[in-house]
Chain A
Amino acid sequence: DGGITQSPKYLFRKEGQNVTLSCEQNLNHDAMYWYRQDPGQGLRLIYYSQIVNDFQKGDIAEGYSVSREKKESFPLTVTSAQKNPTAFYLCASKPGLAGIETQYFGPGTRLLVL
């Protein structure tokens, strides 16, 4: 998992509840990403951040929010506005802002709705 930790491993959400997924990296990477993984689909980008205190929407940002107050941390909040939150959530990071750089992934958090 290359220095990227995600917690919890499993998370249960009640209807109408906001939940926050943690992502921490000790790789000194500038860029961090959140992806959603659903069965039979490729990873889809939710949000990304290239620098502290800055983040941008990805392809499926609706119903999610993020913050980047520290370089090593990029938490994702799944809000009650996300109507289909059940999925496997993956956090990733890469060293900088260049194109030809490898993204490394955390172990993932599985979110389930009660």
Chain B
Amino acid sequence: GESVGLHLPTLSVQEGDNSIINCAYSNSASDYFIWYKQESGKGPQFIIDIRSNMDKRQGQRVTVLLNKTVKHLSLQIAATQPGDSAVYFCAENMGYTSGTYKYIFGTGTRLKVLA
């Protein structure tokens, strides 16, 4: 299948272990953040989001942590499964710019789950 990123950082995790994927964002004024999962040759799939007035949000098997002090976002996946293998990237909402709310997207991290 097609690769969405030939030279992405890769995180290899044993099946059943927890995964932590990190993202540094650029704009201290960004107020909304999203994590996406992208499988090879497919469109990005929404995983979880968080607003800047929160520092933690939990979903099903996923947790997003936001540290505004150092402009850092992380995605934690509990009990990683083979189906979690994909590229994960973050998006930050830059606020109202040139007539719209723009997103800036990270380049992504490839997660490989080892059986």
Contacts and interface: CB of A to CB of B under 8 A. Distances in A.
A102 B49 CA distance: 8
Interface in A40-94: 40-43, 45, 48, 50, 56, 88, 90
B32 A99 contact: yes
Interface residues of A, number: 31
Contact of A1 (B3, B43, B107): B43
B43 to A, nearest CB: 4
A103 B43 contact: no
Q: At the interface, is chain A mostly helix, strand, loop or mixed?
A: loop
A42 B42 contact: no
A104 B51 contact: no
Contacts of A35: 105
Interface string B51-79: 10000000000000000000000000000
Contacts of A105: 36, 43-45
B96 A99 contact: yes
Interface in B57-115: 89, 91, 93, 95-96, 98-108
Given A56-B99, A99-B96, A100-B51, 9 more contacts: A39-B5, A40-B107, A56-B98, A97-B101, A99-B93, A102-B34, A102-B46, A105-B36, A110-B41
21 contacts: A35-B105, A40-B5, A40-B7, A42-B104, A42-B105, A42-B106, A42-B108, A45-B103, A50-B100, A90-B44, A97-B101, A100-B31, A101-B101, A103-B91, A105-B43, A107-B42, A107-B43, A108-B41, A108-B43, A110-B2, A110-B41
